[in-house]
Amino acid sequence: MKVVVDTSVWSLALRRNRILEESPQILRLRELIADDRVALLGVIRQEVLSGIREVEQVVRLRKYLRAFPNLELTIEDDELAAEFYNTCRRNGI
């Protein structure tokens, strides 16, 4: 099963901070990458690539992220996500 990694995790992983390298989120991301289980949503790819000032850095990151396939969503996926959200809200989550 593929796992969609959120923008916040990518942002954490891509920072140059030695302390963060051993965080549980980054260690789990490494496991998922090693197991070839990471997928991206197009919107997450866009968010990760947005706001980077250095062109060279964008090019490097774009090349790196191309290793992860986009998960193609359907209308039914969006509708089901909305149902999940509404169910969670009704239950106080």
pLDDT at residue 17 is higher than 80? no
Tokens at 29, concatenated: 């991301």
Model confidence pLDDT, tens digit, residues 44-89: 999 999 988 999 999 999 999 999 999 999 999 999 999 999 999 9
Measured distance CA(25)–CA(22) in Å, rounded: 8
Q: How far is CA 39 from CA 1, 20, 83, in A?
A: 10, 22, 22
Sorted by where each begins, the domain ranges of the chain are: 3-90
Q: What is the DSSP letter of 40?
A: B
Report the predicted TM-score, pTM, of the whole model to 2 decimal places. Answer: 0.78
Residue 13 to residue 22: CA distance in whole angstroms: 10
**Predicted pLDDT of residue 19:** 67
- Name the pLDDT band for 16 (thresholds 50, 70, 90): confident
Select from 3.40.50.1010, 3.40.980.10, 3.40.50.720, 3.30.70.270 the CATH code of 3-90: 3.40.50.1010
pLDDT of residue 22: 80
- The token pair at 39 is 């997928």
